[in-house]
Amino acid sequence: MSAPLYNKALIIGATSGIGEALAVKLAGQGTKVVLVGRRQERLDSLVQSIGPEKASAVQFDILNLSEIPAFASKVTTENPDIDAVVINSGIQRSFNFAKAESVDLSSFQTEFTTNYTSAIELTMGFLPFLQAQKTATHLIYISATLGVIPTMLRTGGYNASKAALHHWILVFREQLKELPENKVKVVEVFPPAVQTELHDERHQPDLKDGHKIGMPLQQFIDETYDELVKGDDQFGIGMAKATIDGWEKERVRLFHEQVPIIKNVLKDFIKE
């Protein structure tokens, strides 16, 4: 077997779907994993399935934003060999914003916090640790093509949260590059629809057999792992590949082209 992709990966949102399957894949390729999720029984079951010598678990709810700094400190103190953090937690809800009386704003806020705000707070919680390491470290975000092209009208909140995450990642990655000797690599993964509980009727009652929507989970994980090995900053899988390799790549090129121009325009207005 070749060398493991990472020494030890912290996987946030590991109790089902993409997070769980990615943990199994990484562990099978030699990477030790630290599993994070809300459901203790699922964490315990996954640790036993992977093997306690390869996996450990920490129960945590990422909606508890104020507790993230303490959570990050505890995890990194107990696992000083972590070199990859996978931010995968996500939920998807259906809203018809044209019918205001039908929109549960509390559910909308929970979705936005889960998919966007918590990702930033988690990044800020783990970034000082990752930057302090002597070797390369990795931040990996599971994004969504609906954040690039919001074609599913029933999930407007989800689309917007993923668009916010994508644009934030573009800026964050560039800011890191400005630091001397930056060793933190930022990777954004764009899945297509994948067969997970994200679309379950339990979460989206207006769907029938939602878990059958999209690409088979194991196929997605295998292709994602192969792309992670290649080392690109962002990539699409399956149907998402054409979008990310096509006009989105051109849009990112324009972003990189325009950034120094705007910096130059603003240079006389920014305080030292």
- Say which range, 18-27, 62-71, 81-90, 208-217, has the weakest mean pLDDT: 208-217
Residue showing tokens 């953090």: 85
- Say which range, 102-111, 211-220, 224-233, has the weakest mean pLDDT: 211-220
pLDDT in tens, 151-169: 999 999 999 999 999 999 9
Nearest to 152 by CA among 190, 103, 111, 95: 95
Which of the pair, 214 or 144, is modelled with greater confidence? 144
In one-letter notation, the amino acid at residue 253 is R
Could you tell me if 142 and 190 are in contact, meaning their C-beta atoms sit under 8 angstroms apart?
Answer: no
pLDDT at 200: 54
Is residue 111 very low, low, confident or very high in pLDDT (cuts 50, 70, 90)? very high
199 pLDDT above the threshold of 60: no
Per-residue pLDDT, averaged over 5-15, amounts to 96
pLDDT at 270: 86
- Say which range, 88-97, 202-211, 224-233, has the weakest mean pLDDT: 202-211
pLDDT at 1: 60
- How many whole angstroms separate alpha carbon 253 and alpha carbon 257? 6
Per-residue pLDDT, averaged over 138-149, amounts to 96
Which of the pair, 19 or 199, is modelled with greater confidence? 19
pTM of the model: 0.93
pLDDT in tens, 60-77: 999 999 999 999 999 999
Element (H, E) at 72: helix 68-78
Show me where the domains of the chain are located. Answer: 8-242
Candidates 3.40.50.720, 3.40.605.10, 2.40.110.10, 3.30.870.10; correct CATH number of 8-242? 3.40.50.720
Per-residue pLDDT, averaged over 218-232, amounts to 96
Eight-state DSSP code of residue 47: H
pLDDT at 212: 56
In order, the DSSP letters of 196-245 are: SGGG-TTT-TT-SSGGGSSB-HHHHHHHHHHHHHHT-SEEE-TTHHHHHH
Nearest to 72 by CA among 55, 81, 60: 60
Per-residue pLDDT, averaged over 206-230, amounts to 82
CA quadruple 176, 244, 255, 139: dihedral, nearest 10: -10
205 pLDDT above the threshold of 70: no
- How many whole angstroms separate alpha carbon 23 and alpha carbon 12? 10
User: Which residues, at least 6 apart from 252, have a Cβ–Cβ distance to it below 8 Å?
Assistant: 170, 234
pLDDT at 110: 97
Per-residue pLDDT, averaged over 24-34, amounts to 97
2 pLDDT above the threshold of 90: no
Per-residue pLDDT, averaged over 29-45, amounts to 96
- How many whole angstroms separate alpha carbon 178 and alpha carbon 57? 34
Per-residue pLDDT, averaged over 232-253, amounts to 94
pLDDT at 234: 96
